[in-house]
Amino acid sequence: MKLSEEIAALCEPLPFKTYWQVKMVQTGETHGHGERLVLPAASVRKTSVLMAALRAVNEGRLDLEAPVSIKAELQPGIVSGVCQYMTPGTILPMRDVMLLMMITSDNICTHEVMKDLDLEDITNYCHRIGMVDTVHRTKLPPVGLPADHGLEKVTTTTAADQVHLLDLIMRGTEDPEAAARLMVSQELCRMAMKFLTWQRFRNMIPALLPLGTTVAHKTGRGQRGWMDAGIVYRDGRAAYILSATTDDVPEIMPDGLPGHAVASHTIARLSRLVWDSLA
């Protein structure tokens, strides 16, 4: 059975939708389902936020060593990350604020990274680097949206855009032309890759892979579903780039299990199917 058919057999019986794209790094071959469908980005958006911020660093508009204070007024209502638990007034360098935005998906840190960046400029940056269907609409995720909220309420992207971005970052670590397309240096691409490999949430793309497998990725969760986008390494080199998003995930599955657990596990199983196809 072909990989796309195996993934369809996994996803189609489920009472929610799964949209995905995978790129085999060594051959350039791609597979996907709904990979150009525009969907909520949730925290997966933060990879493009990171690269837009690193572009500002490269242009001298943002300083990685600049001190950032954790403000008490930003802490209430934050449900992602660790800074909501820190002592107000704690000082971190901007570099570490970017790191926490990525590896713990900290939304206070995301606010601080995006504070001096214009949303329209971030969207234009995405379009210039080839993420043609990505639109940034908020600096902090809206609170209290219903599960059936419209796309115009949130930042949106596609699986294909996420695979394209990760491919550029990966190539930018060694190829100056790829780094230049991202409007950053190779050194900043390497920083971004380190941050992605230090991801703390590993219950989706890496979950069913051999312990210790290197995965450079960013997860997300929203009112409509769960998502992950990352680069998986095997035998010391990049093997595949995968972006997967679940949508219309019910709170409780027909068998009584939580929808979020089944959605996360579905992405993990999808990743494992890709891994096994390379054996």
State the Cα angle at 230 between 82 and 213, rounded to 5°.
90
Confidence of residue 17 (pLDDT cuts 50, 70, 90): very high
**Model confidence pLDDT, tens digit, residues 253-271:** 999 999 999 999 999 999 9
Sign of the torsion angle spanned by Cα atoms 187, 192, 194, 197 = negative
> Tokens for 130?
């080839």
What integer is the mean pLDDT of 236-260? 97
Residue ranges in 28-106 assigned as alpha helix (H): 46-58, 94-103
Residue partners of 122: CB distance under 8 A and separation at least 6: 48, 49, 52, 114, 136
**Model confidence pLDDT, tens digit, residues 38-66:** 999 999 999 999 999 999 999 999 999 99
What integer is the mean pLDDT of 185-204? 98
In the predicted model, is pLDDT for residue 240 greater than 70? yes
Residue partners of 125: CB distance under 8 A and separation at least 6: 48, 51, 52, 55, 183
Confidence of residue 77 (pLDDT cuts 50, 70, 90): confident
Residue partners of 180: CB distance under 8 A and separation at least 6: none
Pair 192, 50: CB distance under 8 Å: yes
| pTM score, whole prediction | 0.97
Distance CA 166, CA 163 (A): 5
Residue ranges in the chain assigned as alpha helix (H): 3-11, 46-58, 94-103, 107-114, 119-128, 159-172, 176-181, 186-197, 259-277
- β 30-33/156-157 pair status: unpaired
Tokens 């995930």 -> residue: 249
What is the average pLDDT score of the chain?
Answer: 96
Distance CA 224, CA 215 (A): 25
**What is residue 79's predicted lDDT score, i.e. its pLDDT?**
85
**Model confidence pLDDT, tens digit, residues 202-214:** 999 999 999 999 9
CATH 3.40.710.10 holds for 3-44+141-277: yes
Domain boundaries, the chain: 3-44+141-277
Q: How far is CA 166 from the centre of its chain?
A: 9
Confidence of residue 148 (pLDDT cuts 50, 70, 90): confident
**What is residue 1's predicted lDDT score, i.e. its pLDDT?**
67
**What is residue 141's predicted lDDT score, i.e. its pLDDT?**
82
